[in-house]
Amino acid sequence: MGLRINDTAPDFTAETTQGTINFHEWIGDGWAVLFSHPKNFTPVCTTELGTMAGLNDEFKKRNVKIIGISVDPVESHAKWEEDIKTATGFAPNYPLIGDKDLKVAKLYDMLPAESGDSSEGRTPADNATVRSVYVIGPDKKIKLVLTYPMTTGRNFDEILRAIDSIQLTAKHQVATPANWKQGEDVIITAAVSNEDAIKRFGSFETILPYLRKTKQPSA
């Protein structure tokens, strides 16, 4: 059975480009994004790793650590980093896990158990399902899962947008509508009565009996 939202993110110990980590310990009391790649030296992933490096400060503003994983050894990652900088202008400034024995990919149900225990001889197509993004909260629970095909580069601005929503709605009894962005109106959840909504938010607009909007609460 695959991992679902609100499941505890599986813990693991792994070698990375920044040394050995224990995942839960590495996350600490903040948030984390784990994003995976099927193979080193692949074109779409090369652009993604550089894009994430360029956005690292945006993630830090949100108290989010970022960590990548690729189904190849750490030594190969170091060589790949040179290509990533050439292609994007940014070298990875976050840890990149070497998953040469496929343990983490299997632990997160990105590869089936019968996939073997080595990345040697495997092609990107063999690892095509290792293309997921996991947003993990301070409670070590999975808050968001996104999985992309190999031919579609991920939109990391959308991941930042989703984190803004998840962090906001974790603090206040609100939800965010389609295409919501930071600073826009939010939805009051059904658990909040009209009377309580006035106390909490000052005012609100009733669109439908079950859809009430208000200004975004401050942090």
From the DSSP assignment, how many helices (H) and strands (E) are in the chain?
Answer: 7, 11
**What is the amino acid identity at position 49?**
L
The single residue listed with the structure tokens 């980093």 is: 81
Structure tokens at 182: 């930071």
- Which residue blocks in 37-73 are alpha helix, DSSP H? 43-54, 56-61
State the catalytic residues. 45
Cα angle 165, 12, 130; round to 5: 65
Name, in order, each residue with C-beta under 8 angstroms of 91's C-beta and a sequence gap of 6 or more: 50, 53, 81, 82, 84, 85
d(CA 21, CA 77): 16
